[in-house]
Amino acid sequence: MKTNPRLLLIAAAAVFGLAACTEKPQELHSGVVGKPAYDGTGSNFVAPGWKQGDKNSWQQELKVRAQRGQNEYTRVN
């Protein structure tokens, strides 16, 4: 039996085309439910002014970091 190059090309295109269907979804969560970030890790090395487990102090600390060292526009100017 002689192989048809056209059929071989169609089969290869189908294999490569369907290979993209096996890719895992790239979502932002890991699927593991844990505790909130503001609960802390239990480490003694924390930023001054932040109380572990207090959501309001966590949000305030994030605002301070955004206004100071984490914002490149305010660091450069």
Q: What tens digit of pLDDT does each residue of 45-72 get?
A: 777 777 788 889 888 888 888 777 666 6
**Structural domain count, the chain:** 1
Which pLDDT does position 71 carry in this prediction?
Answer: 63
Which two three-digit tokens encode residue 42? 């239990």
Instruction: Give a yes or no: residue 28 inside a domain.
Output: no
Q: How far apart are the first and last CA of the chain?
A: 75
- The predicted pLDDT at position 31 comes to 66
Query: What is the pLDDT, as a whole number, of residue 30?
Result: 66
Residue 52 has phi, psi (to 5 degrees) of -65, 135
Q: Is residue 61 part of a domain?
A: yes
Q: Which domain holds residue 55?
A: 50-77
- The model's pLDDT over 3-28, given as tens digits with 9 standing for 90+, comes to 788 888 999 888 888 877 777 777 77
The answer to whether 46 and 40 have CB atoms below 8 angstroms apart is: yes
